[in-house]
Amino acid sequence: MDFEDTPEEATFRAEVRAFLDANTTRKSTERAYRKRALDEADVARAKQWQAQKADAGFAAITWPTEYGGRGGSMIQHLIYAQEEENYVVPQHIFNQSIGLALPTIMTHGRKDRVERFARPALRGEEIWCQLFSEPAAGSDLGGLRTRAVRDGDEWVINGQKIWTSNAYFADFGMLVARSDANVVKHAGLTFFYIDMKSPGIEIRRIRQISGASNFCEVFFTDVRIPDSQRLGAVGEGWKVAMTMLLNERLVVGQAEGPDFEDIYALAKLVLLEGAPAIEDVAVRERLADWYIQQQGLRLTKFRTMTALSRGKTPGPEASITKLVSATKLQDIASFGIDLLGMAGAAMDPRIAPMNAWFQEALLYAPGKRIAGGTDEVLRNIIAERVLKLPGDMRADKDLPFRDIPTGAKS
Amino acid sequence: MDFEDTPEEATFRAEVRAFLDANTTRKSTERAYRKRALDEADVARAKQWQAQKADAGFAAITWPTEYGGRGGSMIQHLIYAQEEENYVVPQHIFNQSIGLALPTIMTHGRKDRVERFARPALRGEEIWCQLFSEPAAGSDLGGLRTRAVRDGDEWVINGQKIWTSNAYFADFGMLVARSDANVVKHAGLTFFYIDMKSPGIEIRRIRQISGASNFCEVFFTDVRIPDSQRLGAVGEGWKVAMTMLLNERLVVGQAEGPDFEDIYALAKLVLLEGAPAIEDVAVRERLADWYIQQQGLRLTKFRTMTALSRGKTPGPEASITKLVSATKLQDIASFGIDLLGMAGAAMDPRIAPMNAWFQEALLYAPGKRIAGGTDEVLRNIIAERVLKLPGDMRADKDLPFRDIPTGAKS
Amino acid sequence: MNFDFSEDAKAVREHASRFLRERVPSGAVRKHIESGAAYDKALWSEIAEMGWLGATIPEAFGGSAMGYETACVLAEEIGAVVAPVPFGPSLYLASEALLAFGSDAQKRTWLPLLASGEKIGCFAIADGEGDPAPENVRAHVVGGKLTCEKFPVPNAEGTDVAIVVARREAGGVGLFIAPLDGHGVERVTLRGLDVANPQVALRLVDTPVEPLAGGQDWAAVTKLLDRAAILFAFEQIGGARAALDMAVTYAKSRYAFGRPIGSFQAVKHKLADMYVAIEIARSNAYFGAWALERDAAELPLAAATARTAASEAYQFAAKENIQVHGGMGFTWESDCHLYYTRAKALALAIGSVRHWKRALMTRLDQRNEAADGF
Amino acid sequence: MNFDFSEDAKAVREHASRFLRERVPSGAVRKHIESGAAYDKALWSEIAEMGWLGATIPEAFGGSAMGYETACVLAEEIGAVVAPVPFGPSLYLASEALLAFGSDAQKRTWLPLLASGEKIGCFAIADGEGDPAPENVRAHVVGGKLTCEKFPVPNAEGTDVAIVVARREAGGVGLFIAPLDGHGVERVTLRGLDVANPQVALRLVDTPVEPLAGGQDWAAVTKLLDRAAILFAFEQIGGARAALDMAVTYAKSRYAFGRPIGSFQAVKHKLADMYVAIEIARSNAYFGAWALERDAAELPLAAATARTAASEAYQFAAKENIQVHGGMGFTWESDCHLYYTRAKALALAIGSVRHWKRALMTRLDQRNEAADGF
């Protein structure tokens, strides 16, 4: 066992560091309690940085070289991410483009489509978003209802998508819609890509508990898509979406926010019964639990990297990471606030320590337990895919989509 | 609000106390860490005390007077139990006779049957047990497989029952068996009472983790029962059993064992980092949780008694009590053992405090979370009966019993 | 055995419940928040009209004298709709402080105004971080005047009088009346976790204050907090129950995979656990109501138990209500967040769970020592 | 990045796993318990034969020098079958103490005997209640002899030499070698929670003991316990994984309501939680193995983390394995209880979860202070 890079990995890491050192600066050791709402300037900065990365060959490490990628490995991708974390860089908004959309087009699209879209996506000139979830189709994505009706060489889209990150500055979207309601639910879906500027698309931001709006609703009214923008066969949208979601599950990681170091720092700062809270044994025992979890997740990632480094396909580790870290985040936020006693309810940055980071986290933590797979869905995945337990009974099994009970009064 | 008896209740309570004072002694304030395995002498003592109670009219308070009961109320029954708890009395082994078997016979049996069995049961001269659960039918009691085949005026029973308390000294049993496997599962059951001395019955004690044997397996090989011992119509056994189980749910209460006072006492006794463990804030916070639960359950019982005292039918409180107290018991036992540090693994009464009560409890606590309704079944009951949530999907719905999947390779 | 609310209290509850559900339906609190008002003045007048604000106040002081049991059920119903009024600070804390420790003159001056809703009270104990403890009190009365910044003070915006916890000139800590229309009073609104429950930094400069005659030691503060803790527990249980009701309703009507999500055990068992936590808290709160009604010796222990159980049950129910709602649960357009943030704000208002858990154990020690004959 | 066991260690694991599953199948441990023997002598010889007992011992001292990574995987496999042999006491504690602190002569005397399985070691630290701490040590060496009662000593029955923690004549606490065939040795078997893991009260009267040359302070005891903690963590993870495997297998084959109980979310999610807890513990244990192999500076923190996570994961998995099994789970005839009682016994063996959690935090404080430049 060792934590060292192979010679090849070490060379690559050195290259990455040289690039980062030349083009940005190392983070200070102080933790930044960054707010997460993006404005136009953020987007512009992100695009500029992405272009720099593309020029240096770090924008899409695992893409084939013919499309501007590096033809590199997953482990190189992770090494880059590991290193970049230590530097001051704009918030990354291209995961959906680089990690999801273009790989899907590479798998299911014509070569000329890939040539059209790869480079702009790579350089951040065009941003992609994902149009999957709907108000009535969250955990049960296969229950989506947005209709796609064929009309000659075109499809007409009507319906509503929700939880779309970045929709308000995205150029293109990956869309799954129902092309046939008379077959079982997964068989009636078709996959398209769509120009987000198409007539009939309306985008509304969703206001979250915290007041932030990281997600949008997207409404479709008679939006027309040429059939040439279909990816995969008619009725095979589920298969296309699933390969994409599998990639997403690998991307969705740790719920960001105050972690062990931060609650430890807060407990050093705050007094409890006349002494720093960190000296209180009850506080200490609770903090130990989080250290174990944090360290366990960090080390689990090393196990994944080892597997990747040996060319293996990673397992369900990302599910564990998200499941554990989201609840940990909510608990740490709540505990941190409680350490402040009666002052905890004020999240004014003039009062609340660390720029009210714990209070902010309490407000967005519930979303972390839901978005990108709820706690319940993740437990199902672990139980069924890792432990191979049988699936639940299916009320929608073998039913044509239109006959699946929805609870709507008929 | 008050905790006082009504004048009638006060009179009854005084009567109870007079009887107990005259016939036994008050418990000392020290908690007794009683072992629970019964020997013959225990059974004899229990029977004698039951006869005394019967003579004084306290053996079956809610039974009608014509069968030797008091014609009293549930609240009187609870008052008696409350008072008796403070006195030294033999372990009670007649709950199944008084609370379950005879009420079932009174509801479903002929009057001459009641006359035959009521008085001996009342006086503890005959003891009843319950033959419901089977190795393959626990939480899913309706899946029981013990067969009852009609043969003229008799029924022939073959199969196996399990988890029968007191079977080895019981005189009679209440039996549900499958009389028809060609109809849906609940429609094919028939209810009988049976002489436990019948030829073809074999009783084996089940050894539990703790080494104790509180339960038996009962095997039936061509046991013959006259049809006159049937209770309810053929095929209506489920209905009969359910009225009986409803009564049982009210009887199943608190999981007995070390509780808040005991862990508090232990924490005073044991040193932790040079001071009594009770002074450790982490210990204190944990103990507070259990005080809240214990007190909450105690007070919930007062709410039930209030409802009873007003003639209302009690709700699902017993489910809450069992659900909370069984896990609390397991946690307290484990915590108490941990307080002993490296010595906790020795349960020799020469070493382990309080006669190794916490260690004993750790061994029997898992059973408390299972017997009389698992944690999972109790949560289903609360969710479905109290919160009126929809039932789970049923794989066995509408299927004849013989076609219900069992996992057995065919 | 009569461990239930009186018929009178139940009748009031039924009426209050009907009134509040109609008056503060889903969405009303969000609308109120967006209005920017400190509290809903019309609602305040209406509940004053019904005598709720004088529930604990004798008729001689202009109260409705409905009694503490009734005050408890009202607190529960106020909690259930997250009513945008400073009911707790004014009733459980300001009125209660005056009732318990005010001189006859002080009572005559203030109680009728509080009972009628004409004046609103609040309670200023925190001096920044920390739970209630004498050593955490920094405000110091000098020459009958206070110069200090008390923060955060829940609901201090729009209120007329504060009961302030401050150091006495003679030493120790006491309770003081600070009229907020007086000299040198400034209120700075602080962003609150619970936006429907405005937090304020109350800056006083040479503001004349009046000691509450009988409340000039820490024991008085403790007594006041204990009594308030029981009323808060009911408000918290009201919120917890409402969060559970929301979750149950949603779980019955929301379908996934062709069936109501409430038929999945993961959801069903979560809801059962919420119910159990609330029932445990409720039974403990009932005991608090009993102790409050008769000022029983058991009150301090009952209060700490009820408060801790209710703080935990509400936070648990509010948090898992969002989880049951899935994506909709963390949007502003759902009511879920009102319960979530209110649960945390109430759990901190008069001291954290940690504070009350430790108080609970201290009181148990005392009880056990007394029983052991020490 | 190579955060995985070496190919050598993996090969040993595979062989060990196959051997132990065949040699100690379901039911074998119960049969062993009923035999009344202290340990399974035949099995002990067999694993000695395979070099397992000398895994950490250099060849110069008769060991197989397989290394610590291999010792970790062996510990895991031993744990998985609850093998009825004193593997931990002899390998993780007695051999380890000699390796770390023995003089060359002491090593030459004892290590070959322990490696060959001819002699078995045990470790006597507890003097009754308490976690490892110098102030809890009461046994006191006087004139090179010990008169004391050390209890409980896991697996002391049938073993030949004890490493004893005792007060030194010169002050402080040290580690001593006490041959158990010597003068004044009496063993009283104590009923144990875990009946497959006999506990003994070891009574010594004027028994000559020999100080472990390099192990004459509390730091040595701590170092020994830290190293053992990592090996115990693997044994615990082995048990936890086996308990999870049992539960998963049962959940797939047991039907209720016409479907496998593993298709019910209540069961399914419980099993997922067990898996998660075990994986978190496993990753932490891997880090311990890394630290052990190279005696890294991170070892004390890694040990406390691995030990705590493993103790909790095993107890959780073993407890819920019974719950998944329902009624059958709490009968003697099922293997469930072997894991349940062993989980608790191992979680206490070298100090409780509380002890290690607090040690973890102390070590973090130290690390953070060092990083802050104190």
The answer to whether C61 touches C110, Cβ cutoff 8 Å, is no
Phi-psi map region of B195: left, alpha, beta (phi>0 left; psi -120 to 50 alpha)? beta
Question: Which residues of B are less than 8 Å from A285 in CB distance?
Answer: 282
State how far the alpha carbon of A136 is from the alpha carbons of A209, A225, A275, A347, C255, in Å: 20, 23, 51, 34, 8
Smallest CA–CA distance, residue A406 to chain B, in Å, is 14
Give the contacts of A233 (CB within 8 A, at least 6 positions apart): none
Tell me the C-alpha distance between A288 and D352, whole Å: 14
Residues B251, B317 contacting (CB under 8 angstroms): no
Q: Give A216's strand partners.
A: A164, A205
pLDDT at C268: 98
Tell me whether the omega of the peptide bond preceding residue D152 falls within 30 degrees of 0, making it cis: yes
**Across the interface, do C4 and B383 touch by the CB < 8 Å criterion?**
no
- Which tokens hold the place of C114? 């509080």
Q: Which two tokens stand for residue B2?
A: 């008050």
Helical segments of C82-121, H only: 87, 96-101, 104-116
Assess contact for C32 and C84: CB atoms under 8 A: yes
Separation between Cα atoms, residue A230 and residue A240, nearest integer Å: 11
In a mutagenesis test of the D interface, which of B141, B327, B342 is the best target, namely the one with the most D β-carbons within 10 Å?
B342
D370 CB neighbour count, 10 Å cutoff: 10
Residue D278 identity: I
Amino acid at C15: H
Both ends of chain C: CA-CA distance in Å? 32
Strands, E assignment, chain C: 121-124, 141-142, 145-154, 161-167, 173-179, 185-190, 199-208, 210-211, 255-256, 259-260
Helix (H, G, I), strand (E, B) or coil at D188: strand
On the 0-12 / 13-18 / 19+ scale of CB atoms within 10 A, A119 is: middle
Check: CB of residue C184 under 8 Å from CB of residue C207.
Answer: yes
Q: Using an 8 Å Cβ cutoff, are B294 and D366 in contact?
A: no
D274 phi/psi in degrees, rounded to 5 = -60, -45
Query: What is the value of ipTM here, to two decimals?
Result: 0.96
Answer yes or no: do D331 and B208 touch at CB < 8 A.
yes
Burial code (b: 16+ CB inside 10 Å, e: under 16) for A39-69 equals eeeebeebbebbebbbebbbbbbbbeeebbb
Rounded-to-integer distance, Cα A223 and Cα A204, Å: 16
d(CA D114, CA C60): 89
Q: Which residues of A touch D314 (CB under 8 A)?
A: none
> CA triplet D234, D239, D243: central angle to 5 degrees?
145
For B395, nearest residue in chain A (alpha carbons): A393
Report the DSSP pairing between strands C210-211 and C173-179: antiparallel
Q: Which residue has the tokens 């005997």?
A: D113
* Helices A237-251 + A317-339 axis angle, to 10: 50
Cα separation, C303 vs B111, whole angstroms: 54
Q: Is A275 on the interface with B (CB under 8 A)?
A: no
Averages of pLDDT over runs of 10 residues in chain B (410 residues) are: 88 97 85 65 94 95 93 90 92 90 93 95 96 92 96 97 91 97 96 97 92 90 97 96 74 79 96 96 98 96 86 79 96 98 91 92 94 93 95 92 83
**CA C277, CA C279: separation in Å to the nearest integer?**
6
Nearest 5 degrees, angle CA D28-CA D33-CA D36?
Answer: 130
Higher model confidence: residue A29 or residue D241?
A: D241
For residue C357, what is the nearest residue in chain A, using CA coordinates?
A: A282
One-letter amino acid identity for D39?
A: Y
Q: Which residues of B touch A280 (CB under 8 A)?
A: 281
Question: Chain B 368-397, CB below 8 Å of chain A: which residues?
Answer: 392-393, 395
> CA torsion B327→B328→B332→B335, rounded to 10°?
60
Closest chain A C-alpha to D366 CA, distance in angstroms: 13
At B349 the pLDDT is: 83
DSSP conformational letter for B217: E
Mean pLDDT of A131-143: 92
Task: Provide, as residue numbers in chain D, all residues whose Cβ is less than 8 Å from the Cβ of A289.
Answer: 357
Q: Are B93 and B99 in contact (CB under 8 A)?
A: no
Q: Which of D67, D79, D123 is nearest to D98 (CA)?
A: D123
Nearest CA in chain B to C371: B29
Let me know how long chain A is. Answer: 410
Q: Which residues of B255-266 are buried (b: 16+ CB within 10 A; e: fewer)?
A: bebbbbebbbbb
Which chain A residue lies closest to C189 (C-alpha atoms)? Answer: A348
pLDDT band at A401 (very low <50, low <70, confident <90, very high): very high
Q: Which residues are paired to B158 by β-bridges? A: B147
| φ/ψ (deg, to 5) at B355 | 60, 35
> How many CB atoms lie under 10 A from the CB of residue D160?
17
Q: Residue D271: which of A289, A303, A387 has the nearest Cβ?
A: A387
C289: nearest CA partner in chain B: B1
Burial B172-194 (b: 16+ CB within 10 A, else e): bbbbbbbbbeebbbbbbbbbbbb
Q: How many CB pairs under 8 A join C and D?
A: 10
Which candidate in C72, C273, C274, C276 is best for mutational testing of the B interface (most B CBs within 10 A)? Answer: C276
**Considering chain D, what percentage of its residues have pLDDT values greater than 90?**
94
- Cβ of C266 within 8 Å of Cβ of D264? The answer is no
pLDDT of residue B23: 96
Which of C132, C193, C255 lies nearest to residue A345, judging by beta carbons? C193
Burial B70-98 (b: 16+ CB within 10 A, else e): bebbbbbbbbbeebbeebebbeebbbbbb
D362 burial class (0-12, 13-18, 19+ CB within 10 angstroms)?
middle
Of B281, B284, B393, the CB nearest to A395: B393
- pTM, rounded to two decimals: 0.96
Report pLDDT digits (tens) over A165-192: 889 899 999 999 999 999 999 999 999 9
Residue A91 pLDDT level (bands cut at 50, 70, 90): confident
Q: In A, which residues are within 8 Å of D253 by CB distance? A: none
Q: Is C110 exposed, middle or buried (0-12, 13-18, 19+ CB in 10 A)?
A: buried
Interface size A-B, in CB pairs within 8 Å, comes to: 15
Pick the closest to residue A373 from A299, A330, A321, A296 (CA basis): A321
Evaluate whether A208 touches C328 at the Cβ level (below 8 Å). no
Contact B389 C262 (CB under 8 A): yes
Q: What is the pLDDT of residue B409?
A: 61
Type of residue found at D197: N
Best C257, C261, C263, C265 member to test D by mutation, with max D CBs in 10 Å, is: C265
C1, C5, C305 ranked by CB distance to B3: nearest: C1
Upstream peptide bond of C152 is cis (omega within 30 degrees of 0)? yes
Q: Report CB contact under 8 Å: A288, D358.
A: yes
- Half-sphere exposure for A253 (CA within 13 Å, toward CB): 13
pLDDT at C87: 97
Q: How many helices (H) and strands (E) does chain D have?
A: 12, 10
Q: How far is A385 from chain D (nearest CA, A)?
A: 10
Q: Which residues pair with A193 in a beta bridge?
A: A174
User: Encoding tokens for residue C204?
Assistant: 């006083």
State the DSSP H helix or E strand holding residue B192, giving kind and residue range, or none if neither.
strand B189-195
Contacts of A300 in chain D (CB under 8 A): 279-280, 283
pLDDT in tens, D153-180: 999 999 999 999 999 999 999 999 999 9
pLDDT (tens digit, 0 to 9) for every residue of chain C, 374 residues total? 789 999 999 999 999 999 999 999 989 999 999 999 999 999 999 999 999 999 999 999 999 999 999 999 999 999 999 999 999 999 999 999 999 999 999 999 999 999 999 999 999 999 999 999 999 999 999 999 999 999 999 999 999 999 999 999 999 999 999 999 988 999 999 999 998 888 999 999 999 999 999 999 999 999 999 999 999 999 999 999 999 999 999 999 999 999 999 999 999 999 999 999 999 999 999 999 999 999 999 999 999 999 999 999 999 999 999 999 999 999 999 999 999 999 999 999 999 999 999 999 999 999 998 887 54
Lowest-confidence segment of A301-315, D118-132, D292-306 by average pLDDT:
A301-315
Give the residue from B160, B209, B332 with the most D CB atoms within 10 Å of its CB, the best one to mutate: B209
Vertex C40: Cα angle to C34 and C41 (nearest 5): 135
Residue pLDDT, tens place only, A274-307: 999 999 999 999 999 999 999 999 999 899 888 8
CB C157 within 8 A of CB C200: yes
**% helix, strand, coil for chain B, step of 5:** 50, 15, 35
Nearest to B346, CA basis, from D150, D313, D33: D150
Question: What's the confidence (pLDDT) of residue B249?
Answer: 58
Residues of C in contact with D264 (CB under 8 A): 265
Strand partners, D108: none
β-strand partners of A194: A173
CA-based nearest residue in chain B for residue A286 = B282
Q: Count H helices, E strands: chain A?
A: 11, 10
